[in-house]
Amino acid sequence: MPGPPAAVAAARLAVRRWLEDTGPAPDSLVLVACSGGADSLALAAATGFVAPRAGLRAGAIVVDHGLQDGSAAVAARAAEQCRELLPTGSPVEVQRVHVPAGPAGPEGQARAERYAVLVDAAQRLGASAVLTGHTRDDQAEQVLLGLARGSGARALAGMPASRSFGGTRILLGRPFLGGRRSRRAGPDGGITREHTERVCAELGLDPWSDPHNEVDDYARVRARRALQLLEDELGPGLATNLARSADLLRDDADALDAAAQEAYRSLGAPPWPVAGLAALEPAVRTRLYRRCAREAGSSGTDLTSEHLLAVDALVTDWHGQGPLHLPGGVRAGRGEDGVWLRGRT
């Protein structure tokens, strides 16, 4: 008996490897965050096949951001397809959110609202993980944006295949990113956007094409086009190599973040004594600033290395400058007690 088409088999393998690497408890619930696009529909199809065979339950949450006319119909169609792809009786919900104007811009605000809904749904349903359909192409675009913004190693490390979600024990998983640590051995280049489109075609699914993917106002759209231009000029394989570079940088970033965490435990919350900061390695200091700036309200995507180096100059080259204004209304300065960072009051 012939097996599934190659694209379908590879998507299922990616989900199975992620489940094997993270080891959710038997009979736990794994939710798919589905937009109705090709990436998340392919993920729902793969999860619906793999999860029950791994002794797990599957479900889906469709988030309707209400940003376009007809978004409710798109969400309803996505939910309908998820019910067809997942085992009978699997929980499938549509959640409508309001995306307010804010300092993070429409992309950042929509992401924040979406993740808040996903965390709430996962906690309410007792899920152990929420899976998203981010692909290798999304990873490459994320790295390219980090390079364009002059960000440090953490931003260039891209998105991890799994992390704690919203400060809970729930995992946020991105099975299609692949990674170097698969228990099956050998590098895993991940699943591409073209690959997920083939999955949908093979399974007869009807993916939604987000019109925002053609709007140049969004940084991710410009990054996608720039990446295609670079591949045309430099040759194929650029996206794969950017994603691989992210994997390699993540190990370095993890080690430095651990050192910054130890420094935070030692120094405590700001203000920090200048002598204590000066004794740290520069790479550890900047991570300390980044952590506290984000806790105070700065967006990680808007906080650049230039911002962090300006804060570090309060330690290494202070001549009375400040306070500094960081993204999200966060300020940094130096006073009698040392260097401080604080958000809006």
The annotated binding site for ATP is made up of: 35-40
Cα–Cα distances in angstroms (integers) from residue 173 to residues 54, 133, 327, in the given order: 16, 9, 28
Binding site listing: 35-40
Cα torsion 137, 140, 142, 143 to 10°: value is: 180
Quote the CA–CA distance of 140 and 123 in Å, as a whole number. Answer: 31
Residues 70, 235: Cα–Cα separation, whole Å: 39
Contacts 24+ apart (CB under 8 A), 50-56: 50/12, 50/15, 50/16, 50/19, 51/15, 51/19, 51/87, 52/87, 54/16, 54/19, 55/26, 55/27, 56/19, 56/24, 56/26, 56/27, 56/28, 56/29, 56/30
Residue 40 DSSP class: H
Bridging pattern class, strands 29-34 and 57-64:
parallel
Residue 34's DSSP bridge partners are 62
Q: Residue 25 gets which letter from DSSP? A: P
Handedness of CA 253, 258, 259, 260 (dihedral sign): positive
Q: Is 187 helix (H, G, I), strand (E, B) or coil?
A: coil
Structure tokens at 199: 């999955």
